[in-house]
Structure 1
């Protein structure tokens, strides 16, 4: 039995003395069991009340220092991987959605400028998508500039994550362990089908979490996972517990795409590249919105983004458990825009001056949605 923590330590002391440490868990190829990378997991000092992340993050949030803790955890993960006897080709590090808008610390900038011998994949849970989509898109854009990538974690817990997948297009999709534990429910089958299709469309790598048995491994492969992590392959521990990696792991993940998350141009201009605008006639906007509403109601998961307050009333009642309607804080000047995106489908209506254009293909509608969502928090 593990002894009860006896050492008291405050959040302030922990942060001021940089007492966060990282443990690392292997991520393996499910077909070969070759280690492809490591996920860094934050821990406080062993034997203290702040050793484990649930209490560590809860108390830092209460103290108003969550951002500092999040940044320190990232710093320590990078430091540990850089100093490893055999650095991993891929380092997965977790980010806290509530503070993702903060700038990177000088220490992190210094570490990235040193040219780490690995690619970093920053993980965010699906909670980040509906809460702060604009911040997540901006952060994703900055990460891509450095050649690194994004992972969407815990996919399958909230159906909203499936709706946002085509907008974010992460390099890695991580299936929540609940799917491996209970794979034959209608929900699990739906999630697996959507993720398989999205991975095939975008080249994303699918990782299954929580693999503890050979049966879990078999189930994870049936769900469409390429890689996996869990106690079957190794528990979190010192970074030097793994000394052999697949050297091609970083190349397996999709290459960075600078600018992808902040497409150039306005929604109307992006739509016009796909389909020539036509002269707007009375009723065109209403007809387009009726089409958008029809598409949205027919889908279990969807994200509707609206750029003009005057359009909001025409889209009442579309929000639901798997559907979100996002009204822009700062509408696109001079344009009426509404877009819907979800698993495997997309539609957008864009009007400017006397012209209007509608598109019904997913890549274009997703690009328009990225522009719109970049105007939000």
Structure 2
């Protein structure tokens, strides 16, 4: 659980050396023992339907009374360095949900947004009071994920999202707009709620911010996702949020973080509840599972090489941030020319990754490499996938074997269908190391 919106929220941000020292002392006070961590107390910031001005949910935020003003994001950062992020994340989640449950918010249609650290959810001991167990209690829970988590370990994040979807929880992507590159991953995790960073409504949008806004609008139109504007502190902010297509909002103007009111907010009618798709995340075992042409198209390796280079050149010429994923069967097929091209792609795109047998962890500057064993299903896959804000393309090829040589034929498809490209990307993404 992280810091709330601005205003008179008591969290003190770091800045000056004195503030940094104060935060360091407060963080150490929180983390000095398990008992100290468990003193966490949740506060909740209302989430408001901007069409009706009614409260439809709340974001849970962590506070430690014995460390007043501590920045929870710094607590998480330090706990990760100490190998205790699961302990802290679990304490925050349990406190937030236990409080909501105790006050009887189970069946009134309210939606509780809870910030989570994906790496803290990968291993879940039975005694952890896991957040996923709440999906059967009647409580509507949305997991908030950050852009940072998207880019630091996308494979891990994909697993968390898939697990959450199976258990009926919603997904929100937080702080959208801080990093334009992460927009290429929107379709991969398919959030129900896109939370616009407060900078997007602080004033007239810049050219780059307009690109972000248009990409979010296109995603919401294609998927039915909800747009939520954060940091609404003035009437001008509120008007800009509505102008950008936000139907939900939170911020100082709409409600400060506080303990839940003992009288409870009014129940939310079914037609006004935060929309959660409930759709499972489609993750094929491998990209070639998506090949369905009858009869199948075939091509030799030299032809596939030309197609691959065409896709890569298109990516280099694109003016928008991209995610580029590829599988090459064996690392020997990732030639010096490929390394130079992918290194150039990585210089201007935040996620460029390749998979193959014997692939180094960084086969070119900025390129993420994943080595797979010789018996891995991907050893028979030749795939190049490019995802942008509006551009989707994939070459998906399967090596039927066992023949060898330049004339061997692959079954293949080239597609620009958004859903197919996204599914193929997830199939590769789940194997990234």
**TM-score normalised by length of structure 2:** 0.78
Distance 1:341 1:104 in 2: 36
Alignment of 1:192-271 (within 5 A): 192-240=213-261, 242-248=264-270, 252-258=274-280, 260-263=281-284, 265-270=285-290
Q: How does 1:333-352 map to 2 (within 5 A)?
A: 333-352=379-398
1:56 aligns with 2:75: yes
Asked whether the 8 Å contact 2:132–2:167 carries over to 1, the reply is no
Task: After TM superposition, give the deviation of residue 344 of structure 1 in Å.
Answer: 2.1
Q: What SS does the aligned partner of 1:32 have?
A: coil
Q: C-alpha separation between the residues in 1 aligned to 2:394 and 2:131? A: 42
What SS does the aligned partner of 1:319 have? helix
Gaps spanning 5+ residues in structure 1: where? Answer: none
The structure number with the bigger radius of gyration is: 2
Q: Distance in 1 between matches of 2:217 and 2:128?
A: 38
Contact kept? 1:97, 1:125, Cα under 8 Å: no
- 1:82 Cα deviation (Å)? 1.1
CA deviation map 1:315-346 (0-9, x unaligned): 42112344421123255121111111111221
Distance 1:118 1:359 in 2: 40
Stretch of structure 1 that moved more, 109-118 or 340-349: 109-118
- Structure 2 unaligned regions, length at least 5: 1-7, 13-21, 356-369, 373-377, 400-408
Q: 1:101 aligns with which of 122, 131, 153?
A: 122
Q: Deviations over 1:237-268 (max 9, x none)?
A: 1112651242326854132122x2423x4211
How far did residue 15 of structure 1 move? 4.5
Please say if 1:89 is aligned against 2:110: yes
- Measured in 1, the distance between the counterparts of 2:334 and 2:163 equals 32
Find the aligned partners of 1:185 and 1:228 in 2 and give their Cα distance.
21
Q: Is the 8 A contact 1:183 1:223 kept in 2?
A: no
Range with bigger deviation, 9-18 or 231-240? 9-18
SS in structure 2 of the partner of residue 140 of structure 1:
helix
Q: C-alpha displacement at 1:97, in angstroms?
A: 4.5
**Distance of 2:430 and 2:248 partners within structure 1:** 31
Distance 1:72-1:367 versus aligned 2 partners, 3 A rule: same
Q: Partner of 1:169 in structure 2?
A: 190
Q: Which whole-Å CA distance do the structure 1 matches of 2:34 and 2:229 have between them?
A: 32
1:327 pairs with 2:354: yes
Secondary structure of the equivalent of 1:78? helix
Q: Which residue of 1 aligns with 2:367?
A: none
The answer for the alignment partner of 2:174 in structure 1 is 153
| Residue deviations 1:266-318 (CA, integer Å, cap 9, x gap) | 21121x13786312135321221123123312141110111223247524211
Q: Is contact 1:268–1:351 with CA below 8 Å preserved after alignment? A: yes
Give, in whole Å, the separation in 2 of the partners of 1:178 and 1:246: 29
Query: After TM superposition, what 4+ stretches of structure 1 lie above 4 angstroms from structure 2?
Result: 1-8, 14-17, 249-252
Quote the Cα distance in structure 2 between the aligned partners of 1:55 and 1:321: 29
Rate the CA distance shift 1:303–1:108 in 2: closer, same or farther, 3 A.
same
Instruction: Report the CA distance shift for 1:299/1:114 in structure 2 as closer, same or farther (over 3 A).
Output: closer
Task: Select between 298-307 and 200-209 the one with higher mean Cα deviation.
Answer: 298-307
Question: 1:94-121: per-residue Cα shift (whole Å, max 9, x none)?
Answer: 0125545333653434882683322111
Matched positions, count:
373
Q: CA deviation at 1:223?
A: 1.5
**Between 241-250 and 86-95, the greater mean CA deviation after superposition:** 241-250
Q: Tell me if structure 2 keeps the 8 A contact 1:155–1:175.
A: yes
1:75 paired to 2:131 = no
Whole-angstrom distance in 2 between the partners of 1:250 and 1:256 = 16
Determine which structure has greater relative contact order: mean sequence separation of CA pairs < 8 Å that are 6+ residues apart, divided by chain length: 1
CA contact (8 A) 1:29 1:35 kept: yes
